[in-house]
Amino acid sequence: DEAMLRKIKNDLVDIARTAGQMMIAADPSVVESDTKKNSSDRVTETDKAVEKMVQDRLTSEYPHFGFLGEETFKLGDKLGDMPTFVCDPIDGTLNFIHGFPNTAVSLALTIEKKPFVGVVYNSFRGDLFTAIKWQGAFFTTSTGITRRLPMSPVPKPMTSLNDCLVALEWGSQREGSNWELRTSMSQQLMTSKAAGGAMVHSIRSNGSAALDFCYVAAGMIDVFWEGGCWIWDVCAGWIILEEAGGMVASANPGDWDPTLEGRLYLAVRGAKRAEQEGVVKELWEMMGDRKFVY
């Protein structure tokens, strides 16, 4: 019920603020070496320590709920129908290691595989984004000012990619067909070679998919395109975007109905549905026959 969801949101905010303090106090250069595939694919001790704190607190307060976290995930683990907390302890780990302050803890609650509560907190900037299903999305600044999303005045009209500032992330692959697709998309977006001459204002790669969703929700960025995100990257941002009137589609042409396990995401800020769909179609046209594979 609504009161229960509000309590969960407040608990997640409290836990996110503790996580944020851990991140600020941490030494991000302590990198765990083992499992990762190249020098851009990193995990730090802080990722693991934050996830442990989050899991301990949530499982003691909500022992009957599921938990899915980036650092404890094992291949084959699935999101179930039961209420489940989804945790990315540090989204934007590479930013964290470099001291680039666009990094966040991302916490969500799903019910029947749909996000119901989302909390994304960037402790380095003090930016807090939250949403509860049917209760709106909010942005709280470091000075404690809270605004409903999207922020008013309502962002400029959006009739085409020509009006858009677009976020596109690079993930950790540095070769292969997905990497080539990202490269081709960024080139086309910047040169109006496709989609009826559509060309964006510019591209941003902020390094955190969770924050990209929130920036789109706030109307700071108009569109976010990436294939290959995991549930924990997008789950909290997804409900924040939806509650701000934005939409999520699959990053692959033709699929309006992405799932949390699909790993393909395209986010468009709140505007009329026809405008949102028009922008998605322009992006899909740029992809042509190419699909993001994972």
* Span interacting with ligand IPD, options 32-40, 77-85, 207-215, 274-282, rule CB under 6 A: 207-215
Triad 88, 172, 288: Cα angle to 5°: 110
Q: What is the nearest approach in angstroms of ligand IPD to the Cβ of residue 231?
A: 11
* Span interacting with ligand IPD, options 78-86, 144-152, 226-234, 276-284, rule CB under 6 A: 226-234
71 binds ligand IPD (CB under 6 A): no
Which SS3 state, helix, strand or coil, does residue 111 take? strand
Q: How far is CA 101 from CA 95, 126, 147, 233, in A?
A: 7, 10, 22, 17
Q: What is the nearest approach in angstroms of ligand IPD to the Cβ of residue 119?
A: 15
221 binds ligand IPD (CB under 6 A): no
* Span interacting with ligand IPD, options 84-92, 178-186, 255-263, 285-293, rule CB under 6 A: 84-92
Task: List the 84-91 sheet strands across, edge first.
Answer: 66-69, 84-91, 104-111, 114-122, 127-132, 137-140, 146-149
Residues 168-197 that bind ligand IPD (CB under 6 A): 169-171
Q: What is the nearest approach in angstroms of ligand IPD to the Cβ of residue 158?
A: 23
77 marked as binding residue = no
Nearer to ligand IPD, 84 or 178 (CB): 178
d(CA 102, CA 94): 10
> Is 261 an annotated catalytic residue?
no
Task: Name 141's Cβ contacts closer than 8 Å, sequence gap at least 6.
Answer: 126, 127, 147
208 binds ligand IPD (CB under 6 A): yes
93 binds ligand IPD (CB under 6 A): yes
56-88 exposure pattern, b = at least 16 Cβ within 10 A, e = fewer: ebbeeebeebbebbbbeeeeeeebeeebbbbbb
Map tokens 């109905």 to a residue. 257
261 marked as binding residue = no
Q: Which residues lie near ligand IPD (CB under 6 A)?
A: 70, 88, 91-93, 169-171, 207-209, 226, 228-230, 233
